[in-house]
Amino acid sequence: MMIHPALYEVLYVSTLAPDQPPSVVAEIAGRARVVNAQLDVTGLLIFDGQRFCQQLEGPQKAVLKLIERIRNDPRHVQVEVLHHGPLVARRFQKFSLAFSTLEDADALPRMEQLDGAAALAAFEAVRGELVL
């Protein structure tokens, strides 16, 4: 019997670095899909043209290592973790990384003001509007 490490999640927002073209986002998402699959990490990346919002879930060590890598990625600035903690069940079993753009330009700036359960609730509301 295989024992699975406890699931952990991180929800963060960040801003695309001013010197980066929006086209770099496809590159980020493509690379993340490969790395996430190798690490048994799933999640959702939302981009509104300027800001990112991402939820990562998987083994705690892998998720924390990834968020550290994101903090050090020069393509992101103002990386802010809104929520992190143990997770009972994955939200995105089917996706090493689901990716969506967001038409509502105010949704992520609003979410940036929240943390903990309020940030998760706002994320769930935005997620509910996406076609994945």
Q: What is the DSSP string of 20-62?
A: S-TTHHHHHHHHHHHHHHHHT-EEEEEE-SSEEEEEEEEEHHH
Range 73-85 average pLDDT = 95
Q: What CATH topology corresponds to 7-129? A: Alpha-Beta Plaits (3.30.70)
Q: Quote the pLDDT of residue 53.
A: 94
């695309």: which residue's tokens?
16
Residues in the chain, total? 132
Domain ranges within the chain, ordered by starting residue: 7-129
The model's pTM: 0.85
- pLDDT band of 2, cuts 50, 70, 90: very low
